[in-house]
Every structure is written in structure tokens, then in C-alpha cells.
Amino acid sequence: ASPRFDAIVVGAGPSGNAAAYVMAREGLNVLQIERGEYSGSKNVQGAILYADALEKIIPEFRDEAPLERHVIEQRIWTMDDRSHTGVHYRSDDFNEEKPNRYTILRAQFDKWFNSRVRDAGATVLFETTVTELVRDLSGKVIGVRTDRSGNPIMAPVVVLAEGVNGLVGQRSGLREELKPDTVALAVKEMHFLPREVIEARFNLQGNEGVVIEAMGTITKGMTGTGFLYTNEESISIGIGCIVEDFVDSAETPYGLLEAFKNHPSIKPLLAGSEIKEYAAHLIPEGGYRAIPQLYGDGWLVVGDAGQFVNAVHREGSNLAMTTGRIAAETVVMLTRKREAMSAANLAAFARRLEETFVMKDLRKYKGIPNLLHGGKAQFFGTYPRLISQAMQTWFRVDGVDKKTKENAIARSFREARGWRGMIGDTFRLVRAWR
């Protein structure tokens, strides 16, 4: 007879690993199913790891997880074709005993996280794809079917941690198909360099790291951003835009990445590097309004499958781990009380999420995706160009007096966008940001 599982987790990314680990650690009999060869083999991230979310699951993770560099400097750039204007924040306070953010390589990190899942007692099946959910006559989910055997595997609850595509949930009618205006396609490369070169180029010591987030004409008028993160002996660089914008444009993701790499502000940072990996992946960026139904009779959705990404702050893996942990705690609580995994009881998951930064942040920014997408020509073209021109006018010493320069800058904004347009953009931005 097949073993009786208390819960099945579909997927072994950060959300699935968090869910499976917490349930197994609390004594539940957990089965985790991952289609990849190992945890991390199918997963793509920049990648910044936010310590707080993992600390709440594995407090001692710093002693054993494969971490690259702890982030001491954040650069935010707005770019035109030849320049960038930056806000940089660097602090020695980030050289703390327990650093707050790290760069990681997902293939290694997920592998480690999943080894902890197995150590906690969960059974993990790799190279196995869940093909559909199994339901009883009332419609309650009671197990899954995989591509391995015809027999369904049964459990009172299934945690869907299957990532952005969420095909199992879609096929089972639990959620709608992804919409091209709520999902970004991102591409990423790894550039290898000796660690001393990275440290000299970015003014770093030891395991200190720098991250750059960039927006502007690099996305050729499409809604999107670029990034560059320092790892121990490599640099991760990538760029992504909303899928609908690619459909309407002649640009390709790889073309954008090539242009970004060749930007005069980026090229010297990568000089002499050896490219070893190329990856493409979707990112759910629809925000609060795109969140699907999160629970039902016998099922819960966590991580990217639930659209839990804060695109404004480039956070995803921490939302994935937090939603995975809270889903697991909900299942543990119901199992201990011997209560049914009904929609009414599993609703506690969504209620608890409301109390966390996950829902609070996504709700706060609910208007941002539409604002940026609707105003992409201004936000990813006009304003970055104007800011760059203004900076150049201001910093170039050419015999023109400062008052005339100020007037020229004001005129350039007025002519490009008009007072009305600028007031409208500011008003909409402030309203969406609140």
C-alpha cells in the first residue's frame, strides 16, 4: 500500500521548500514533487536573498547555506543611451554580524534548502511532473497525478508551489491563464571574473557586494528594468520587460540584454569576463490585482504561482518563502487540531497573510503596475532622457550662467511633457505610491 501523506507540495523552489520544510519539521508526513533533476535546476533569480524571510524558517542558515556576497551598497540608476544618473546608498552598517541581504546562485542555494527539507523527513521525488489534481465527487482536492505512474498519490491537502506558470492550477480550473500584461519575461547571464577584479571594480572588501537596479531607455520604451549583482566570482546581469510589450515591439529579450551589456556605464564593469550561463524566465508582475484565489477545499497556492512578487522593490523569493511558511503553519495547525482541510478552514492562510508585509506591500503598490504600463513612454523613455540631459546641462561648465541653465532645464521638461502632463504624472505616481 502507498504511504499516507499528510500533505503534498508541488515544486521545490523557495516557496515549496519553505512549505515542505516547515511541515516536515513539525512532524507531518510530507511528499514534495519537483519536475527538475534537482531543486534549483529549473529556477532562475537575479539573485538577491532577503535574510529575514529565511531566518524565520532556518535561523542558523548563515552557517551552512551557500551564500555569495552580503550587500553593502545599493545603486539605483535611471539611464539614457549614454549616461546614468544614480542614487547610491552604501553603509558599513551592512557589514553586520547577521547581514540583511545576500547575493546567491539559485542552483546551489535551492539544492541546499532542499537538503534541509529531506533532513527534516520529507520525501522528495525529482524528475516527476504533477500532471493534474485529483478530486472527490464534491470537488475537494484529495491528491495528485504525476507523469510517473497512473496511480494517484493521495493527501488531504496539496500546496501548489509550482511557480509562475502554474499549469497544474490552471488546468484544474483553480486559476486563470497568465495575462501577457501581468507577467515579465526576463533574461539573465552570468559573467565570470576573478574575485579580486570584482572587488577592485566595485570597491569591495572580502565578501561585500554591490547591487545595481536600472531603468530607462535600456528597455526601449517598454515597461521593465535591468539589474547587475556581484557574486563571489561572477556578475549576474539581466533585463526583463512585460510580455505584452515584447509582443507589440520588434525588440527581443536577448537584444535588450546585449544592448544593456554594451551600455557605456555597464561595459567596463564586465570587461574581460567569461560568460558561462544564459537563462530566461517569467516574473509575475501584476501585483495585488493579479493575485488569484489562494485556497479551496484541499488546496493552497504559494509563491510565484500566487503572483507574490513585489516588482517595485524587486522582491520575490522572500514573499515565496513567507507564503510557503504561512501555508505550512496553517496546515500544521489544522492537522494537529484534526480539522478538515476545507476551504473554510484553509482561509486562515489568507487571513494570516493579510497581517504580513506580503499583503500589506502588494496592496500598497496595487496601482503601480497599471500606472507604469500605461505611462511607459514617459517613465521608461521621456523622463530618463530629460533627467540625463538636465544633469549634463547642470554639470557641464561652459561659460553659461546657472540661471540660464536652470531655465533651459525647466524648458526641456515643459516642452517634452507639458506642465499638465508633469502634474498629472506626479499626481498619479503619488496616488499609486501611497
Are 267 and 348 contacting, i.e. CB atoms less than 8 angstroms apart?
Answer: no
Is residue 189 a contact residue for ligand FAD (CB under 6 A)? no
Work out the number of other CB atoms within 10 angstroms of the CB of residue 250.
Answer: 7
Query: 314 or 428: whose CB is closer to ligand FAD?
Result: 314
Q: Is 335 in the site for ligand FAD (CB under 6 A)?
A: no
Report if residue 45 touches ligand FAD, rule: CB under 6 A.
yes
Min dist. Cβ of residue 302 to ligand FAD (A)? 6
Residue with Cβ nearer ligand FAD (46 or 375)? 46
Q: Give the H or E element holding residue 275.
A: strand 274-284
Site string for ligand FAD, 129-148 (x = CB under 6 A): xx------------------
Find the binding residues for ligand FAD in span 233-272 (CB under 6 A). 238, 240
Nearer Cβ to ligand FAD (179/411)? 179
Q: Which of 9, 30, 31, 33 binds ligand FAD (CB under 6 A)?
A: 33
Shortest Å distance, C-beta 226 to ligand FAD = 10
| CA distance linking residue 376 with residue 198, whole number of Å | 34
Among 78, 230, 317, 330, binds ligand FAD (CB under 6 A): 317
Considering only residues 7, 8, 9, 15, which one is a binding residue for ligand FAD as defined by CB under 6 A? Answer: 15
Q: Give Cα 431 to chain centroid, integer Å.
A: 24
Beta-carbon contacts of residue 20 (< 8 Å; ≥ 6 apart): 9, 12, 30, 32, 117, 120, 122, 124, 159, 328
Nearer to ligand FAD (CB atom), residue 188 or residue 385 = 188
Count of CB atoms situated within 10 Å of the CB of 414 = 12
Is 287 an interacting residue with respect to ligand FAD (CB under 6 A)? Answer: no
Check: CB of residue 184 under 8 Å from CB of residue 282.
Answer: yes
Residue 314 interacts with ligand FAD (CB under 6 A)?
A: yes
Among residues 123 and 129, whose Cβ is nearest to ligand FAD?
129
Of 128, 178, 172, give the one whose Cα is nearest residue 281: 178
Min dist CB 38 to ligand FAD, Å, is 9
CB atoms within 10 A of CB 351: 11
- Alpha carbons 351 and 372: distance in angstroms, whole number: 29
The Cα 47–Cα 103 span in angstroms is 6
* Interface residues toward ligand FAD, by CB under 6 A: 10-16, 33-36, 42-48, 129-130, 161-163, 167-168, 186, 188, 238, 240, 281, 283, 303-305, 309, 314-318, 320
